[in-house]
Copies of this chain bind each other. A is one copy, B any other.
Amino acid sequence: MKLLPFKNVAITGGFWQKRQTVNRENTLPIEYRQCKDTGRIDAWKLEWKPGMPNPPHIFWDSDVAKLIEAVGYSLAQFPDPKMEALMDELIDWMEKAQQPDGYLNTHFIAVEPEKRWTNLRDWHELYCAGHLIEAAVAYYQGTGKRKMMDILCRYADYIATVFGPGPDQKHGYPGHEEIELALVKLAEATGNKKYLNLAEYFINERGKQPHYYDIEREQRGDTAPYRLGGPDILPYAYNQSHLPVREQKTAEGHSVRACYLYAGMASVARETGDQSLIDACKTLWDNVTTKRMYIHGGIGSSRFGERFSFDYDLPNEEAYAETCAAIALAFFAHNMMRLEADSRYADVLERCLYNGIISGISLDGKQFFYDNILASHPLYHKYSGQKSPRRQDWFGCACCPPNIARLTASLSDYLYTQTDDTLWLHLFAEAKATTTLADQTVTLETKTEYPWDENISCLLTAEREGEFTIAIRLPEWCRNPQIEVNDQPIDIDAVKKQGYAYIKRTWKSNDKIDIFLPMPVERVYAHPSVRQDDGKVALQRGPVLYCIEECDNGPDLAALRLPPIAEFSLKDAPQEIGGVPMLVAPAIRRDTTGWENKLYSTEPPKYTATTLTAVPYYLWANRAPGEMTVWINE
C-alpha cells in the first residue's frame, strides 16, 4: 500500500485543522525561537571554537531537523514566506557546513572532529543524520525545493561508503535508531534503492556477534562497563542490540529507540517483502500493543532508562510514557498499516493520536509534556524526582516539542492509503483528498466533527463512472458502525475483512458515503495482570480517553467511586478547554466523618452521593493545577 501524494491531501476543518492552525501559528514560531535562542540554529554557521561557551550538542541537529520537517509539511498547504525564508537560510548554512566528503553534523564537525563514528552506541550521529534526511524529504514534499534533499543525498551516499559489509567498511549501526525509516523515505522520494539497501544493512547487522559496540569500545580504549539507561537485564537491550532483530520477541529498552527501529523494520519489510522481517514486526507489534501499552497509547512505562519494563507493568502516577515514544508507536503503526490491511494498526494509531500524543502539548500549542502520566498528585512530584505535572516551555533535551509539531503538520499523511484500485480510510477527519484510482482522478471530501460527533460524511468526485473499492475502517471501539452509500445501508458483515468495510462498486461523482459511529460512553477495564488498574475503570467515548481532574471533582480523587450502573450524560466543557463534551455521572465519595486524627480504622468505608465529571485526558492540566486520574475506582 502506498500513501497519497502529500500535497494532494488537505485537512480542511474540524479537530485536526484546529490543531494544525495552533501548530502553525503558535508552536512553530516558539520552537524556532527556542532553537535560535539556545544556539541550535546558529550552530550551523560552524562558528563555535574551542574555549567558547555552549558548544553544539550531539543531538542538537535532530531538534533543528524536526523543526525543518514540520515547517516543510506545513508549507504544503499554508504558505508562510517568512518562515520559509528562515528555513532556506538555514539550509544554505547547511550546504556550506557540509564537508567535502559529504559529512554533516555540527557537533562532530565543530567540537570533536576526531571522534567521528567512534561511538555509535552512545552518541547520536546516525540519529541526527536520519532526522536531517526526514526533514529534507518533507521540505521537498512541502515546497518542491530539492536543495536540502540533494545535501542529504550526498550525506547518505557518504554514509553508505562508511557502513556496509565490505572489508574496509564499518559493520556498525546506530545506538539511537531513526535513520532506518528515514532512509526508506529517501529511497521512496528519490527512487534510489541504495538508501533502502543501507537501511536494510543497519537492520540486519544489529545485534550480531561479535558485537559491534564491543568492537568499537575496544577501539576507543574504553574499559568502562556499559551502564547507559539503568539496569540491563540483557546486555545492550537498552538500544535493542541484545539480539539480531528477527530473534527479538519482546519490546525491550528505550522505547523511542525501539519503535523507531520497528517502524524502520516495517518500512524495509514493505519495500523488500522480506517475510522473516514482517514476522519480526508482527511479533514485536503484538508484544507492545497487547502487553506493554498504556490505554492512552503511551509506551515505555519506566523512567529509569525511559524504557519498556515487563508485560502488564503500567504504573500510572509513576508512568514515563514519553511523548516521543507515543509518536514513535504511531510511526510503527503507520508503517504496519501500509504492510497489511488490518485495522488493529489504525486502532492503535488513533489511540495514540487522540490521547497519549496530543496530551504532550497544551491546547494553545505553547507548552509541552515530556512524560505523560495517567494519574497526578501535585505534591507527589516534589518528592519523587519526577518532572513537573505542568507542561513546560521547553526542555534541555528538546526532542518532544518538535516531534509533536512535525507529526501534527504531517497528519494528512495518516488518513489514507491506497493501491491502484482501493482507497483505505483509516482515520476520520474533515479533509479533501485527490488521487488516482482505477486510472482516473478521484477526489474525496469528508465533513465531520469527529471525534466529538458520530457522523462522517464523504462526497466523491470522479472524472467518470468507474469500479474501485473504498475501504472504511470499522474502529475497534465502535460496537455498531453503520455505513450508507447514497442513503442505502451497506451490509457491513458482508463486506467486512480484518476491520475494514470494503465497498466495491461503480462509483461516480456526487456519490455520498455516510458513516455513523455510535459513541456511547464506554467503561474500559485493563487485563487482570495489570496490577495497577485492578478494581478500576477508565472512560472512553469514541477514540477519546477521559480522565477526572481535581478542578471538576475536588481533591482525593481516589476516594471517588463510580458505581457500575451509573449513567452518563454529556455536558459542554468550559471554553478554556474548548467546549468539548465532558462526561457527567452520579457517583459516590468516601465519607471522611469519623476519620479525624485516624489513619487506619476497622470501620468499613461509608459513602456520600456526589457527581463525577470527566474531561478528555489530553486536555488535562490546561486549567487549575491539581490531582488527575484516568483509572477510577469502580
Residue ID in chain B nearest A607 by CB atoms: B528
- Given contacts A231-B385, A302-B383, are A525 and B600 in contact (CB under 8 A)? yes
Copy total for this chain: 2
Contact check, A524 vs B286: say whether CB atoms are below 8 A apart.
no
Q: With A and B bound together, what is the CA distance between A479 and B218 in angstroms?
A: 70
Nearest-neighbour CB distance to chain B for A498, whole angstroms, equals 15
Q: With A and B bound together, what is the CA distance between A385 and B307 in angstroms?
A: 13
Which residues of B have CB within 8 Å of A601?
524-525, 527
- Given contacts A286-B597, A557-B531, are A525 and B605 in contact (CB under 8 A)? yes
Contact check, B528 vs A605: say whether CB atoms are below 8 A apart.
yes
Q: With A and B bound together, what is the CA distance between A535 and B557 in angstroms?
A: 12
- Which stretch, A271-279, A374-382, A410-418, A566-574, touches the partner chain B? A374-382
Nearest-neighbour CB distance to chain B for A39, whole angstroms, equals 25
Which residues of B have CB within 8 Å of A384?
302, 304, 309
Nearest-neighbour CB distance to chain B for A303, whole angstroms, equals 9
A599: interface (CB < 8 Å): yes
Q: With A and B bound together, what is the CA distance between A602 and B521 in angstroms?
A: 10
- Interface range on chain A (Cβ under 8 Å from partner): 35 or more
Convert A610-634 into 0s and 1s, putting 1 for each residue whose CB lies closer than 8 angstroms to a CB of B: 0000000000000000000000010
- Which stretch, A94-102, A103-111, A289-297, touches the partner chain B? A289-297
Residue ID in chain B nearest A603 by CB atoms: B525
Residue ID in chain B nearest A589 by CB atoms: B528
Contact check, B290 vs A599: say whether CB atoms are below 8 A apart.
yes
Residue ID in chain B nearest A309 by CB atoms: B383
A523: interface (CB < 8 Å): yes
Nearest-neighbour CB distance to chain B for A74, whole angstroms, equals 34
Given contacts A528-B590, A529-B555, A531-B557, 20 further A-B contacts (CB under 8 A): A230-B383, A290-B598, A295-B599, A305-B383, A307-B383, A309-B383, A309-B384, A318-B318, A377-B531, A523-B602, A524-B600, A524-B601, A525-B600, A525-B602, A525-B603, A527-B600, A527-B601, A528-B559, A528-B592, A535-B633
5 contacts between A and B (CB under 8 A): A313-B383, A528-B605, A529-B592, A534-B590, A535-B536
